[in-house]
Amino acid sequence: MSFRHFVPTISSRASLAFRGIYGPQVRAISSAQILQMAKAKPKTTQKRGADKTKSTSFKKKIKGLGSEVFSYRLNAGEDESDVTEQDFRNSEYYKSPPHLDINPIKFEYLVQNFPTKIFSIDENLIQVFQASKLSGKLNQVFDILNNTGLVARGITNNVAERVMKSSITSYENTIILDGECGVGKTASLLQIASCAIKSDWFVFYVPETISWVDSSKPYIPSFEDPSKFYQWTLVSSLLNNINLINNNDILHEKLLLKEECTLGKNKFAVGTPISSVIDVGIKTPSLSQQALQIVLDCVSSQTEVPVLIAIDQINTFFSLSSYTDQENKRIYSNKLLLVESLLPYFGNLTTLSEYSAAIPKKKLQRGVVIGATSKADKRFRDYYFFDYLRNRKSTTHPFEVLNVPVFTKEEAFYLLGLYKLSNLTNIEPSLVQASRIWGIASGVPSKIYDYCSRFF
């Protein structure tokens, strides 16, 4: 759809745009209602004198029982638990976000250029990672909007096409999503993971890895090699996430062990579902790393189910971690056994600099491996890693770097429409407004969000 389709009138822009975005699936507001709103003239009201007993100013959320607001509410007989952030916002300016019934994102919608431009993320996927922090501002955005709608971008379509090719056989190259801060690398990776779950793939999705290397999790030296370190509780929680986001049929019926294996006192025969191995790793953290290795070996060697390994903040794997060894010297991330178990799936990236050991490379028999970079935390912005990506030669290195660009004006228009329907902003979605905000934010979606939510 070209821009000139939206030029004629405000009413036609609203009708076409929102009918294209949501169609009949939006229960909170319909295309007809939007069209009526666009045609309606503002109501004129008789000027009234100011009510000096009520304040019309903005009120910030005040924490603690010592504030006058809390004292007043509690004296009125209300319980502290009933006080929410919404109570401190002037209802004349702030509206509660409505519930929007947005179509869930799927591969077929992306590769077939579906007219809808806004799709939601799998609810189960969001619930699993709600407690943990998604990279960037996505948790905050989803919470304020009261929905998980994201714009289906051109870069997401390009990645989806490559992933769909790997549904039959292995995709030859590891895919790396690179770009500046806030351009939407995390959002694109999350959309692909959600599509894979909807298509009954086995999904190994990690939304953030900074907590793996910033010394916030307990670790212990390996008994066999003291220079390497276990992170048992972290791996156990990772296995639990794998168990929660993947379909039960895949874990219990389709993914079966091809070889006998022993995990502590537990012996698993050929044909045992990997769910049994995952359960042991969850219940017994000291066996979690070994259980994870068994799961990875199983899923990478089978062809029954397509596999997606999607890891955000992948640059942390190739940086100096905040952990220290027995001599109080900082160690590189590849000395953490959890990181080491996943590095083989990233091809030549595993040996990109002198400090990385020669790790044997592995590939999926059916599926694809995707990593997304993050430049938000300077502690883990390794120069060698990003320099290696910039100076890559696709003919010699078996990985493919896709640069995630800033939003186009059309993508900013659809994003503004989502924000309008979610009551984040009262800015009418038009190409003129979208172009203006796009220019202010330099096309960066995180800055567009900051602009629209600046009063929150």
pLDDT per residue as tens, the chain (456 positions) = 443 333 333 334 444 444 444 444 434 334 444 344 444 444 444 545 555 555 444 444 433 333 333 233 334 444 444 444 445 555 656 667 788 889 999 998 888 877 668 999 998 899 888 766 777 788 889 988 999 999 999 999 999 999 998 888 878 788 999 999 999 999 999 999 999 999 999 999 999 999 999 999 999 999 999 999 999 999 999 999 999 999 989 999 999 999 999 999 999 999 999 999 999 999 999 999 999 999 999 999 999 999 999 999 999 998 899 999 999 999 999 899 999 999 888 865 555 544 455 566 788 999 999 999 999 898 998 878 888 787 765 444 567 899 999 999 999 999 999 999 998 988 888 889 999 999 999 999 999 999 998 876
Instruction: Write down the residue that tokens 């699993």 correspond to.
Output: 128
Chain center to CA of 58: 32
Instruction: Kindly report the backbone phi and psi dihedral angles of residue 331, in degrees, each rounded to the nearest multiple of 5, phi listed first.
Output: -110, 155
> Cα–Cα distance between 343 and 261 in angstroms, integer?
23
CA–CA separation, 3 vs 376, rounded Å?
33
pLDDT value for 88: 52
End-to-end CA distance of the chain: 33
Task: Look at residues 449, 451, 454, 452 and name the one whose alpha carbon lies nearest to residue 183.
Answer: 449
Neighbours of 220 (CB within 10 A): 10
Confidence (pTM): 0.79
Cα 374 → chain centroid: 12
Query: CA separation (Å) from 375 to 4, 148, 281?
Result: 37, 24, 32
Instruction: Please state the φ and ψ torsions of residue 382, each to the nearest 5 degrees.
Output: -70, 130
Give the C-alpha separation, 279 to 10, whole Å. Answer: 57
